[in-house]
Amino acid sequence: MQLITSHQSLIEVVNSKKSGAFLTVEGGEVLEGDLRMLRVLYRLGVRSLCLTWNNRNEIADGVAETQTGGGLTLFGRDVVREMNRLGMVIDVSHIAEKGFWDVLEKSEAPVIASHSNSRAVWDHPRNLTDDQIKGIAQKEGVIGLNFVADFLGVPGSGLDQLMRHIDHICDLVGDDYLAFGSDFDGTDNLLAGIKDVTIYPEIISYLKKRNYKDTTIRKICGENSLRVLQKIL
């Protein structure tokens, strides 16, 4: 296992076919409103920060703050600038929509939604609107589809429901901005039939049966994410 902290270490992992660890933190409350803590995380090897969870912190509001839905605070804007400067990946999963657009306006680098799905397919506040999906694509970022049943749709649904999200996003913006962001560590409420990473070969077979090209499958399974990491790190 090799820690990925730079463009060079990423290339080394890819070329050696070793397993790589890319450290991320979910929830900017860990910074406690102090930009120096972001630099500490960076020195510890963290290379991505999900700016909020569902609630409010010093950076912005999360999607559960329905009465306010606030955007980036002044501190949040400083965090975005500093993450750009350091070469850290900004993750907009969980952030309220106003904050989402603030991030896209302020960031000079691509952003990711590491574990988010399509709201047009399933209307849930944690999912992305079509405009948000287009915004990430225009920013040359990537969206990682998660496997959480509540976000995918019909309770107990199988891989067909996951494919609805894949089909919609690819039809909307093409195949350059989609990846997998399972959220295996975040919930037990997974799509029916999915337990762990052993499901991926079945998902790939499903994609082939639906006439997805091998080039598209490779993009979704890793190449799109690598493109973003190579540009930012």
Evaluate the CA torsion angle 29, 97, 152, 91 in order and state its sign: negative
Mean residue pLDDT of the chain comes to: 96
CA dihedral over 63, 66, 70, 71, signed as positive or negative: positive
pLDDT at 35: 98
C-beta of residue 59 within 8 angstroms of C-beta of residue 72: yes
Q: How many residues does the chain have?
A: 233
Percent of the chain with pLDDT over 90: 90
Residue 127: predicted pLDDT: 98
Cα–Cα distance for residue pair 65/54, rounded to 1 Å: 7
pLDDT of residue 157: 64
pLDDT tens-digit map of 25-68: 999 999 999 999 999 999 999 999 999 999 999 999 999 999 99
Q: Does residue 142 contact residue 136 with C-beta atoms inside 8 Å?
A: yes
Report the distance separating Cα 178 and Cα 186, nearest Å: 20
Angle formed at CA 230 by CA 225 and CA 233, multiple of 5 degrees:
115
- CA distance linking residue 109 with residue 106, whole number of Å: 9
Query: What are the tens digits of pLDDT across the range 109-118?
Result: 999 999 999 9
Residue 190: its H or E element: none
Strand order in the sheet with 89-91: 23-26, 46-50, 89-91, 111-113, 142-145, 178-180
List the structure tokens of 192.
Answer: 């029916």
Q: What is the pLDDT of residues 178-224, one digit of tens each?
A: 999 999 988 888 888 888 999 999 999 999 999 999 999 999 999 99
Residue 192 has a pLDDT of: 80
Dump pLDDT digits (tens) for 151-189: 999 765 678 999 999 999 999 999 999 999 999 988 888
pLDDT of residue 190: 85
Q: For residue 21, how many other CB atoms are within 10 A of its CB?
A: 11
- What pTM, to 2 d.p., does this model score? 0.96
